[in-house]
Amino acid sequence: MTRRRWIADEVNGDTAALVGEHALHLARVLRAEVGQEFDIATGDAVRHGAITAISSDRVEFALGEEQVVRPAPLVTIVLAIFKFDRMEWAIEKCTEIGVDRIVPVIACRTDAHLGSAAQKRHERWQRIARQAAEQSRRAAPPEIVAPVKLKDMGAVLLSGRPEAGATVGRIVLAECEDETRLRDALQASATEVALAVGPEGGWVDDELKWFRESGWVAASLGSTILRAETAAIVAAALAMDALR
């Protein structure tokens, strides 16, 4: 039977713990018991864990052998901020698919009240990603970057973690004159991919100019008009498959 996986809040040698609401869910909602076994993600590994102590705000584990974890493709989703309920659904599903990083961007067509409220949502987005990562048995949640403006996004991408010799493909989803499809753009020899998904109505001309001047390639998901969350999920799935 596949063991449920938890992402530890604290790790110290051969022990780990969940704390706060994280622990409360396991202790009260799932009614965990001492001795019960799970997989515990410790940040740099996934190890077998057995519960040694339980309280309402803390669950402690003794850690055992390390589990084999396949490295995941490095896919970044640059996501223009749009209606929070639908955006959060996209964050959840992109996490389940396996993306490595999500960068919320305040775009020209982002409603002003959403742009101003986005910073306060950052912690919530991180929590959604963590829950989705545990549900989908990931070793770690994706990095959810604090919301940025497009002009500042380049520095965020450069702060990533490409390995020496890595080739990063940067693709902006937009209508393109040569009708380049995303699946074709992904066939290049990139070892890491960043995909930019615009808000409802798409990127404006000045934003597309910024992408072009910054070395991004435009590609399309086809002739149908997709909602932003649908486009993000489809693009993420295609990129993950192409890099595997």
pTM score of the predicted model: 0.85
**Phi, psi angle pair for 9, to nearest 5°:** -85, -30
Predicted local distance difference test score (pLDDT) of residue 164: 45
Q: Are 114 and 220 contained in the same domain? A: yes
Q: Are 115 and 227 contained in the same domain? A: yes
Q: Are 165 and 207 contained in the same domain? A: yes
DSSP designation for 240: H
Q: What is the SS3 assignment for 195? A: strand
Predicted local distance difference test score (pLDDT) of residue 167: 66
Residue 113's CATH number: 3.40.1280.10
Q: Are 137 and 118 contained in the same domain? A: yes
Residue 26's CATH number: 2.40.240.20
Q: Are 34 and 136 contained in the same domain? A: no
Taking the chain, what is the end-to-end CA distance rounded to the nearest angstrom?
26
**In which element (H, E) is residue 91 found?**
helix 84-97
Of the candidates 50, 66, 82, which is a domain's last residue?
66
Of the candidates 42, 66, 90, which is a domain's last residue?
66
Q: Are 189 and 95 contained in the same domain? A: yes
Q: Are 47 and 80 contained in the same domain? A: no
Q: How many domains does the chain have?
A: 2
Task: Say if residues 27 and 44 touch (Cβ distance below 8 Å).
Answer: no
Q: Are 59 and 101 contained in the same domain? A: no
The parent domain of residue 130 ranges over 74-243
CB atoms within 10 A of CB 28: 11
pLDDT along the chain (244 residues), means of 10: 84 94 87 92 90 93 88 91 96 96 95 94 96 90 94 74 62 79 80 91 93 91 90 95 87
Predicted local distance difference test score (pLDDT) of residue 160: 56
Q: Are 38 and 79 contained in the same domain? A: no
Q: Are 100 and 185 contained in the same domain? A: yes
Tokens 């938890």 belong to residue: 6
